[in-house]
Structure formats: C-alpha cells, structure tokens
Amino acid sequence: MGLVIAVCGMPASGKGEFAKILASRGVPVCSMGDLVREEVKHLGLEEGPNVFGQVASELRAEYGDDVLAKRLISEIDNKLTEASIVLIEGLRGTAEKEVFKAHWGESFLTVAITASTEVRFQRVLSRNRSEDGDLISFNQRDERERGWGLGKLIDQSDIVIANNDNIGDFNQEVSRWLDTL
C-alpha cells in the first residue's frame, strides 16, 4: 500500500504551496476544499468570503463532521493504484483525520504548515481569492476552522513545517523532507 499524506494548517499558511511542490514531484493531490467549492457550484451560490465556510459547516451539520473525508476515500484509493504517495490538501477536522487513519492506518500521516497570523493575513490580502475577505472574515474563518479541530490537528501532526519566510526557502525545506520518504 502507498502512503497517504494529509496537509493541514490555518488559512493562508501555505497548504496550497505545499501541494504544488508535491504535485511538481509527481504526487497526485486531492483537495478537500475542492469538494466544498463543487458543492457551492452545485447549489448555484455566489462565491464570497462566508459562503464556503457556511456550506462546509452545513455539510458537516447534515452529514457529520467526517463527510468530506468519506467522500474522498475512493478517489484516493484509485490514485493509490498508480502512485506510491497521494496528498490530501486541506485536512481541517479531527473527525476527518479519524476516518483517514482508520482507513489507511500506518500508511497515513499528517503534515502541518504553520505561519504567523500577520504573515497569513498579508497572504490573504495579496492572493485575492473569493473565499478570502477582510480582517473580520479572516478571524471568523480561523475560529470556525479551530472549532472543527484544526488547532488540535496542527498540534498532533506527524510533521510540522514553518512557512514564515520566502517561498524559495519553503520549497527547499519541503523538498528535503520529501526526499526522506
């Protein structure tokens, strides 16, 4: 069996950059956020800073905190038939981790990407994504995701990689770590 890596981190910590680095090395990436974006599109909702969080919360309330994980397992298993490593981008809740750990056991590990609040907010301002907003929205998103257990996930991750500096340094650190697998 291959290795399944799930990356977690607060918004704008660098999960997407981490995924790009692994993808450039041939690692298939499955995004939990894409599942929410697909649901927003399916519902015909206009994208905005609070829409994605609201839809994610509604999915969890209706189907359970592990709904996104359960929806992703078969896609990941399919990718594992051809790849030795698969990345899950955007692990946000402890219930999701429990589903993945139960399914893949020792072949599952978590990586946390950390960055200071100030650095993350500056990234939010510069990237201009539809799910981002002002400082109030940023703080609300942080609190919502902590409520799903994200802080606990970060604290309990198998690997922690800081991302407060430039992208080149981050890329080198992630590449060095990947070479150890």
Q: Structural domains in the chain?
A: 3-179 (3.40.50.300)
Name the band, by pLDDT with cuts 50, 70 and 90, for residue 136.
confident
The Cα 7–Cα 90 span in angstroms is 6
Average pLDDT of the residues in 37-64? 88
Q: Over the stretch 33-43, which tens digit does the pLDDT of each residue have?
A: 889 889 999 99
Percent of all residues in the chain with a pLDDT value above 90, rounded to a whole number: 71
State residue 47's pLDDT score.
83
In this structure, how many other beta carbons lie within 10 angstroms of the beta carbon of residue 2? 17
pTM to 2 decimals?
A: 0.88
State residue 133's pLDDT score.
72
